[in-house]
A and B are shown apart, each in its own frame.
Chain A
Amino acid sequence: MKKRTLATAMTGIIAAFAMAINVGAAAAPGEAAGFTEYPIFEDQEVGFINLSAVYFQPVPMSNGNESIEGFDIHLEADISALENDLGYGVGDWVPYLTVDYKVVGSNGETAAEGTFMPMSASDGPHYGANIALPEADTYNVTFTIHSPEEMGYLVHTDAETGPGGTFDTAFADGNLEYTFEGWDYTPQEW
């Protein structure tokens, strides 16, 4: 009798454990549960650009950027075009940008800064970088977007083939800049 009780209990343990595993594995077909973006802010209009920022696990990248050791997150700026006269389709990713990022902690000190690299993930192209951000804090994040002309990207200026606008106009006040204040961040386990 005792043995039967014990066997039943053990079976129960294994069944409960297996159930926990199954619940976790219940991703829909084709769903990439391992690629879950954590939002910072969404859909801010900065000039002709729609800007969102997310982060997720540090990722290996090509061209000598395979190491993820020492990094805490992959910070990403999703940049798409709004209605514009520069020839970009609305909602399209805007290439040839130089995007600087700066993460400032609640003590006013810069925790991370640099320039994003353009890259492609399974959800399309974006600007991003692996960064070290080990401290939990409330941060301010600033993105500075330079004119594509700095990267040698041009726009037709003639009446026949040009889209009507120029980067000089779009960036008349200098670089586009957006600061999100109050990003409550805690390091995650990936």
Chain B
Amino acid sequence: MLKYLISSVEQLLALMIMTGLLSAYLEHAFGPKGKLGTRTGICAGLIAGFVMGYFKNYTNRIDTGRWNLRNFSVMLAAFLVFLVMTALAKKVKWAGTAAVAAGAVMIALLFLYYLPDFLSYPHIVLQTEKTVFSTAFLYRMIGAVLGLVLCIVAGVSVFQGALRLSLSVSFLLAVLALAVNEVKEITSSFSIMLAKRLIPSNHTLFVIAKHASNYSQWFIFLTIAVGAVVPVILWVRSFHVNEPYRNSAERRKIIAKWRSARRWSTSCLICGVLSVLMLTSVKAYANREVELSPIEDAPVKDGAVYVSFDQVSDGHLHRFGYTTEDGVTIRFIVIQKPNSSAYGVGLDACDICGETGYYEKGGQVVCNLCDVVMNINTIGFKGGCNPKVIDYEIHDGNIIVPVDGLMEYESDFK
């Protein structure tokens, strides 16, 4: 659940903050025209995002890289048009409408870029869960929805807060957030074009793309920082209100206005703090390395490790090992199969993820690296993320694992 909560925040928070800031400026600066533009942009973006989500998950017609390049190109053009038209808005009659149109296009493109991956979460989970009527599916979707709610509240709070700022500050913040997004999209374009060999190999561009990729979280943090300016300014201003009033009714109205501003600011700040926590501490907790259960004692005699049925007949995962002369411990696991007297025996490593090992969680055996839940009944069979198959025999109430067989895998545990 936590992983999907964090993924949702990573996927949607920047979208919501940018949409909130840009919508606030457009509505503030251009009135009903701006409002219509933002609503049109959001609706078009939602429709396009859903359509794209469907095509990405259920057809093979979408080359995401090329799509992103198109999206980024139109986005950059719209951003430049927006800047120029906003500057001309007071001098040229139609420039305001053009600025609104450019803003609407940007909002739509942002939704088209960010939304489909969020919408694909159920599809990805169902590839393993197969049914929506499973606890794992339910928990993961709860996580995703909680993340969505947090991002929407953050976006609405930023929007409401930015509406209460001066026009120039509102414009500056919207442009700053969009500029951060432009840097992200331009560096992503380098990455796509280099990977697809659409442009010749270029070391400088690769280094830029590499650093932008490895520090991609900073784009989200920068966007959060820009959004956080909104509540900070409002809070400071709310304590220095010096608006004239003629009677107590007007005074009450002013107090109510700034009380409302403080509430939206509080909402903004809470969302900001929660988001930063999600992307730092909670993420570190969710991705923490699971400590494998200790290796249990099993006697080694006559060139084999002896595991008695009594040790492993409780239906839980048990880990054993043999330490070689070079000090390498070769681990293997044993688990009694559900509703059966048979045992699943295999190396505590697989072909794909190496010696990362397996752990038990909620009665299931999970790969420590890729989180794949193993089918306990297939442990002992070759293939995929299943534990590597090892030789063993059952005799006289013991699972006997020859040391010679284990030694073949010594290099796996170095």
A residues neighboring B (CB under 8 Å): 5-6, 9-10, 12-14, 16-17, 20-21, 23-25, 27, 31-36, 38-39, 57, 60-61, 63-71, 113-115, 117, 129-132, 135-138, 184-190
Which residues of the partner chain B approach A137 to less than 8 Å between Cβ atoms?
210
Which partner residue on chain A sits nearest B130 by CB separation? Answer: A66
Give the docked Cα–Cα distance between A33 and B70 (Å).
15
Number of interface residues, chain B, beta carbon within 8 A: 66
Taking a contact as CB atoms under 8 Å apart, the answer to whether A190 and B64 are in contact is yes
Which residue of A13, A24, A27, A138 is within 8 Å of B108 (Cβ)?
A13
Taking a contact as CB atoms under 8 Å apart, the answer to whether A5 and B64 are in contact is no
Give the docked Cα–Cα distance between A5 and B94 (Å).
8
Smallest distance from the beta carbon of B198 to chain A beta carbons, Å?
11
Taking a contact as CB atoms under 8 Å apart, the answer to whether A71 and B370 are in contact is yes
9 contacts between A and B (CB under 8 A): A9-B98, A17-B105, A65-B383, A67-B372, A68-B124, A70-B371, A114-B353, A136-B191, A188-B195
- Of residues 378 to 395 in B, which have CB atoms within 8 Å of A's CB atoms? 378, 383-386
0/1 interface trace, chain B 21-33, chain A, CB 8 Å (1 if under)? 0000000000001
Taking a contact as CB atoms under 8 Å apart, the answer to whether A17 and B70 are in contact is no
0/1 interface trace, chain B 274-298, chain A, CB 8 Å (1 if under)? 0000000000000000000000000
Knowing that A64-B386, A135-B214 are A-B contacts, what are 17 other residue pairs whose CB atoms are under 8 Å apart, sorted by A's residue number?
Answer: A5-B94, A10-B36, A13-B105, A24-B62, A24-B66, A33-B62, A35-B60, A36-B63, A67-B370, A71-B370, A114-B354, A129-B352, A131-B352, A132-B369, A185-B195, A186-B210, A188-B191
Interface assignment of B238: CB less than 8 Å from any CB of chain A: no
Give the docked Cα–Cα distance between A189 and B354 (Å).
26
B residues neighboring A (CB under 8 Å): 33, 36-37, 40-41, 44, 48, 51, 55-56, 59-68, 70-71, 74, 94, 97-98, 100-101, 104-105, 108-109, 117, 124, 127-128, 188, 191-192, 194-197, 201, 206, 209-211, 213-214, 351-354, 369-375, 378, 383-386
Taking a contact as CB atoms under 8 Å apart, the answer to whether B196 and A36 are in contact is yes
Smallest distance from the beta carbon of B132 to chain A beta carbons, Å?
16
* Contact flag A117-B384 (CB < 8 Å), given A6-B36, A13-B44: yes
Which residue of A16, A33, A61, A186 is within 8 Å of B384 (Cβ)?
A61
Which residues of the partner chain B approach A115 to less than 8 Å between Cβ atoms?
351-352
Taking a contact as CB atoms under 8 Å apart, the answer to whether B101 and A117 are in contact is no
Q: 3 closest A-B pairs (Cβ-Cβ)?
A: A34-B60, A136-B213, A136-B210
Give the docked Cα–Cα distance between A62 and B60 (Å).
18
Which partner residue on chain B sits nearest A110 by CB separation? Answer: B354
Smallest distance from the beta carbon of B293 to chain A beta carbons, Å?
21
Taking a contact as CB atoms under 8 Å apart, the answer to whether A13 and B210 are in contact is no
* Contact flag A69-B64 (CB < 8 Å), given A13-B101, A132-B369: no
Which residue of B61, B201, B214 is within 8 Å of A136 (Cβ)?
B214
Taking a contact as CB atoms under 8 Å apart, the answer to whether A189 and B188 are in contact is yes
Taking a contact as CB atoms under 8 Å apart, the answer to whether A66 and B97 are in contact is no
Give the docked Cα–Cα distance between A90 and B60 (Å).
31
Which residue of A33, A67, A117 is within 8 Å of B383 (Cβ)?
A117
Of residues A9, A39, A68, A130, which shows the largest number of chain B Cβ atoms within 10 Å of its Cβ? A9
* Contact flag A38-B37 (CB < 8 Å), given A33-B60, A114-B352, A186-B213: no
